[in-house]
Structure 1
Amino acid sequence: MIQDSILYALGFAWRKRVFLRACFPGLSLVFVDAPEAVPPGALLAVWGVPALPLLAPGVRLVRVEDGFLRSVGLGADWVRPMSWVLDRRGMYFDATAPSDMETLLATTVWSPELLQRAAALREMIVHEGLTKYNVGVGQWSRPERGQRVILVPGQVETDASIRYGSPVVRTNLELLRRVRVAHPDAYVLYKPHPDVVAGLRLRGEAESRAVDFCDELLVHVPMHYLLERVDEVHVMTSLAGFEALLRGRKVVCHGQPFYAGWGLTQDLLPMPRRGRELSLDALVAGALILYPRYFDTQGAACGTPEQTLQELLTWRDRSRGRLSWSQRLWRPVLQLLAWWQDGKRRRSA
């Protein structure tokens, strides 16, 4: 096994570097601006799944992304993360190839102690109403006519999880249209992605027509509040599908997210490569205990999801759903930057 003393890092903004150092405390970090600067055989950390056509021979990749219990606030608002995931095989949202997450879920022997811990973690998340971003205010009531209620969570359409995990349905409008055609008598809710609502990412293709295919469009109601009150959730690859599973809801996958293919979801695009049937607590153990890295509020690695849950609860209680002064100051700048970046992604797609 190669013993590395140096980790090269490509594509990490300054605000992310303290967290990368926390993930690799024994290595010297060298931040580079281009893949050509990475020597042969080096260990290279990259954010997400960027195109890397010019890597030297033998370069080994570690892909990094936000975790599933992230923060109180949006990453697009530059809110600090409480968890990351590191993957040397691929990335959890890339269904075109196996990832560390998929391998872990496919091969782990689940001990009773680990499953018991996962069950307690799941129950705490549900009881406290925690989700990835923990944003939103307000309430919602089911329709009086007693219809089955289907929630369709919107996604940022330029997101890599759609590009690599949803080969057939690629827009929010197409997802809504399919749900409406398949369930003409259901009460369909559409909740746009919070990044889009905040103006930090562009709306999807013809997303303004979402009202033509849903009964109600909900913008600010918290995700956990809706998941506790709907009957089923239809997704491309949205993490809301995983959060719905935690709450015992039926989840229909029109794409191939990491939580599909294990016998817990209705999969419209089967994944024979997975195939193993998992219990919900095995999925939770893999996705929330074994796979991520967790940080404390200072950016140091703190070890456990249980600690992170407590810090998220304290953070949420302190924020009370309000933007911090720095978020209010920076948001107009970030909106302009995000619109430029999203437009660039669409032109290159």
Structure 2
Amino acid sequence: MHNDSTVLRPSSPRVAGYLSKGLARWHIIRCLLPEYSRQVRLKPGSRQPVDAILGWGLKPTSTRARRMAARRGLPYVAIEDGFLRSLGLGVHYSQPHSLVVDYSGIYYDATRPSDLETLLAEAVFETEELARASQAMQRLRRCRLSKYNHAPDRPLPTSDRPRVLVIDQTRDDASITHGMADASSFKRMLESAIADHPDAEILIKTHPDVIAGRKQGYLTQASTHPRCRLIGDDINPWALIDAVDAVYVVTSQLGFEALMAEKPVHCFGMPFYAGWGLTFDELHCERRQRQRSLPELFAAAYLRYCRYANPYTGLPSTLEATIDLIADQKRQRDRLAGRWLAVGFSSWKRAFITDFLGPASSVRFLQSDRPQPHEFEGRDSLVVWGQKATDELKALCRQHGLKLWRMEDGFVRSVGLGVDLTRPLSLAFDSRGLYYDANHESELERLLTETEFEPALLARAERLRRRLTELKLSKYNVRGKTLPTLPEGVAGSRPIVLVPGQVESDASIAHGSPEIKTNQALLEAVRHNRPDAFIIYKPHPDVVSGARVGLLDKRASELYDLELVHYDIIDLIELADEIHTMCSLTGFEGLMREVDVHTYGLPFYAGWGLTQDRLSSPRRQRQLTLDALIAGALLIYPTYVDPLSGEFCNADTAVELMQQQRDQRSGLPFRVRLYRLYRNLFSQRQ
């Protein structure tokens, strides 16, 4: 998971000290420095004994740390953001997903060796590692990921003449001063680009802060040249690279991404990727004598030099998992970007909906279910919970050109019940319908019908399924009692059928089970179909808690052999040979555990050749594998949010967060017990 650099590291765990507040702010520092058993912050004048001093590279903010290391005779260990950092910007406090740790220098300092330069000069790369590097480069390009991924990804307008990209940088950036460059390097770069391409339009990408006057660049005056055009907007680097025939840089990382896109790159400083025979270099570095292939350069920088961790779980990670996570964050951010109206949401839901809509959205909450016409002005989308979209609301959205979305809990939701006001880790946003409404096509149904699931995505779905099974996680993850011993002679002689109860007033039954609509009717059908089976009935936890409708009458006890109330649903699934359900999510959880599932309604997982179905839908004609169903329903369709940071995460992360929450929790929190008491007293007065 970490780099496997040949550069020497301390042989035993030690203590590292640091001065920077930034190092204390980032969650992944601890797990990405296993060389040190502890990292402690040192106050000015501190004499606390440590074995090394950590600091931010060679930036001016690290001067005190480097001086302290020299004064104490300790090694200075340089920390920097990795080459695939995050969705958002560090200045906006987005947690990093990767760091580099350098014991001899830092990658952007070409005046002396760094760990990365030593790797490129000396390391041997096996065929398997180079294949991994090539696959990762393809994925970064396909997912259009860069170091930072906050900028909108929109194509540049087409042009009838060639284009060349010249990258400006902010004045006196550490990568320039330590990359053997200065202001004259930018002047020569621009002059060369203009001379080398006499018929081309020269696009000069400068930092937005330079255009706004908050920072200084080097090429701001170039716009006076008739063939030069400044681009100061934030824009995805791949959109720029796509639009040009060649790229000119001083030390910008965008030059390396242009190499991944197979564009010629001209360097006028000495970035880490220059001097290895892949770029056209104005300068020469005596230490860089070896010719390296692009996969070798990538393997050294991204696979060995960089270290990866999940900032939400605090666990070490890999490049591939980091690509998955940031790509999922970017996809959901772009999908939900816009100006929203949210109609009819309680104050409890309002507290987290903003996070789920993401950093590229703004939302205005309306208490009334009947918005006034002026409230639609300047808005793109309107969202309601579940089936609360009235005909009047639909007509208003059509009239004002707003996209109507429905929102529901995701399939891997939380540790605790929604009815107990437990914040969800996942929600499903659907602009077509809702996943449980079999009468209309939902985005999930369209996704399952049309998506070509790539092998890498299916492999990830399989890993997620195994992890969910291993951890015994479900939608709500409410711990139950230890299972009782079944009556003698049942196991092995009679098929064990699990019948999960549902909330009978729930919209999923009204819209997804047109024939059988009550728990009692379901039990009657199951007993008729499986007269010799041992039937276990599990009431829905919301019904048991007293919050929802769905209790059986006394006669129903003849329809099942055993009622198990306060037990973990996953234990019951693993006990069962078959699951019979109207449209409960328990059927999906049973499929993941390879249990035979019979449906009496049309849940989202029915009709794809994986279940025994009483009903059918003409829209569902495709045969899916189980991993394809999981990929669509868990990896792509829902939106996941880390509750601590409020940032997007993904299914893989949410599963680990749930496990951590479950491990930390023992019994019902006092808040939940108090709320249940209030709710039940209030409901008795109705």
TM over 0.5: yes
Shift of 1:72: 1.0
- State how far apart, in whole Å, the 2-side matches of 1:139 and 1:266 are: 27
User: Does 2:391 match 1:53?
Assistant: yes
Q: For residue 99 of structure 1, what is the aligned residue in structure 2?
A: 442
Shift of 1:257: 0.1
Q: For residue 231 of structure 1, what is the aligned residue in structure 2?
A: 577
Of the three residues 531, 536, 561, the one matched with 1:215 is 561
User: Does 2:415 match 1:72?
Assistant: yes
- State how far apart, in whole Å, the 1-side matches of 2:533 and 2:442 are: 36
Shift of 1:143: 4.0
- State how far apart, in whole Å, the 2-side matches of 1:182 and 1:9 are: 45
- State how far apart, in whole Å, the 1-side matches of 2:683 and 2:339 are: 32
- State how far apart, in whole Å, the 2-side matches of 1:211 and 1:202 are: 18
CA gap 1:107/1:228 in 2 versus in 1, 3 angstroms: same
Whether the 8 Å contact between 1:201 and 1:339 is mirrored in structure 2 is no
CA gap 1:299/1:98 in 2 versus in 1, 3 angstroms: farther
- State how far apart, in whole Å, the 2-side matches of 1:338 and 1:226 are: 30
- State how far apart, in whole Å, the 2-side matches of 1:254 and 1:338 are: 31
Q: For residue 325 of structure 2, what is the aligned residue in structure 1?
A: none
User: Does 2:482 match 1:144?
Assistant: no
- State how far apart, in whole Å, the 2-side matches of 1:287 and 1:192 are: 25
Of the three residues 598, 617, 624, the one matched with 1:252 is 598
Shift of 1:299: 6.4
Q: CA RMSD in A?
A: 2.0
One-letter identity of the residue aligned with 2:340: L
- State how far apart, in whole Å, the 2-side matches of 1:338 and 1:241 are: 30
User: Does 2:376 match 1:39?
Assistant: yes
- State how far apart, in whole Å, the 1-side matches of 2:338 and 2:594 are: 45
User: Does 2:523 match 1:163?
Assistant: no
Q: Which has the higher contact order (CA 8 A, sep 6+)?
A: 1
Shift of 1:39: 2.6
After TM superposition, the structure 1 stretch with the greater mean CA deviation from structure 2, 222-231 or 17-26, is 17-26
TM-score, normalised relative to structure 2: 0.48
One-letter identity of the residue aligned with 1:224: I
Whether the 8 Å contact between 2:341 and 2:365 is mirrored in structure 1 is yes
- State how far apart, in whole Å, the 2-side matches of 1:63 and 1:95 are: 15
Counterpart secondary structure, 2:627:
helix
Counterpart secondary structure, 1:259:
coil
Whether the 8 Å contact between 1:165 and 1:256 is mirrored in structure 2 is yes
Q: How many residues align?
A: 338
CA gap 1:323/1:265 in 2 versus in 1, 3 angstroms: same
Whether the 8 Å contact between 1:202 and 1:339 is mirrored in structure 2 is no
Shift of 1:19: 2.5
- State how far apart, in whole Å, the 1-side matches of 2:541 and 2:645 are: 24
Q: Which has the larger radius of gyration?
A: 2
CA gap 1:200/1:171 in 2 versus in 1, 3 angstroms: same
Shift of 1:132: 0.4
- State how far apart, in whole Å, the 1-side matches of 2:684 and 2:460 are: 42
CA gap 1:80/1:122 in 2 versus in 1, 3 angstroms: same
Q: For residue 456 of structure 2, what is the aligned residue in structure 1?
A: 113
Of the three residues 315, 324, 340, the one matched with 2:669 is 324
Shift of 1:60: 1.9
Counterpart secondary structure, 1:228:
helix
* Deviations 1:152-178, CA, capped at 9 Å, x for gaps: 000000000000000000000000001
Of the three residues 5, 20, 37, the one matched with 2:353 is 20
Counterpart secondary structure, 2:423:
coil
- State how far apart, in whole Å, the 2-side matches of 1:26 and 1:4 are: 5
CA gap 1:42/1:304 in 2 versus in 1, 3 angstroms: closer
1:289-308 paired onto structure 2 within 5 Å? 289-298=635-644, 300-308=646-654
1:199-210 paired onto structure 2 within 5 Å? 199-204=546-551, 206-210=552-556
Identity %: 44
Q: For residue 120 of structure 2, what is the aligned residue in structure 1?
A: none
Of the three residues 529, 552, 556, the one matched with 1:182 is 529
Shift of 1:203: 3.0
Q: For residue 615 of structure 2, what is the aligned residue in structure 1?
A: 269
Name structure 1 gaps, 5 residues minimum. Answer: 344-349
Whether the 8 Å contact between 1:201 and 1:338 is mirrored in structure 2 is no
CA gap 1:338/1:319 in 2 versus in 1, 3 angstroms: farther
Shift of 1:229: 1.1
Whether the 8 Å contact between 1:190 and 1:218 is mirrored in structure 2 is yes
Shift of 1:53: 2.5
Whether the 8 Å contact between 1:4 and 1:43 is mirrored in structure 2 is no
Counterpart secondary structure, 2:371:
helix
Whether the 8 Å contact between 2:499 and 2:536 is mirrored in structure 1 is yes
- State how far apart, in whole Å, the 1-side matches of 2:659 and 2:547 are: 25
User: Does 2:539 match 1:192?
Assistant: yes
- State how far apart, in whole Å, the 1-side matches of 2:534 and 2:428 are: 36
* Deviations 1:5-27, CA, capped at 9 Å, x for gaps: 42100122112223221122222
CA gap 1:339/1:6 in 2 versus in 1, 3 angstroms: farther
* Deviations 1:110-164, CA, capped at 9 Å, x for gaps: 1000000000000000111000011122213444322100000000000000000
- State how far apart, in whole Å, the 1-side matches of 2:621 and 2:411 are: 23
Q: For residue 347 of structure 1, what is the aligned residue in structure 2?
A: none
Of the three residues 659, 667, 677, the one matched with 1:313 is 659
- State how far apart, in whole Å, the 2-side matches of 1:194 and 1:60 are: 34
After TM superposition, the structure 1 stretch with the greater mean CA deviation from structure 2, 215-224 or 35-44, is 35-44
Name structure 2 gaps, 5 residues minimum. Answer: 1-335
- State how far apart, in whole Å, the 1-side matches of 2:571 and 2:469 are: 10
CA gap 1:226/1:88 in 2 versus in 1, 3 angstroms: same
Shift of 1:67: 0.5
Shift of 1:302: 3.3
Whether the 8 Å contact between 2:426 and 2:638 is mirrored in structure 1 is yes
Counterpart secondary structure, 1:270:
coil
Of the three residues 472, 476, 479, the one matched with 1:133 is 476
Whether the 8 Å contact between 2:342 and 2:365 is mirrored in structure 1 is yes
- State how far apart, in whole Å, the 1-side matches of 2:467 and 2:564 are: 26
Q: For residue 346 of structure 1, what is the aligned residue in structure 2?
A: none
- State how far apart, in whole Å, the 2-side matches of 1:34 and 1:215 are: 46
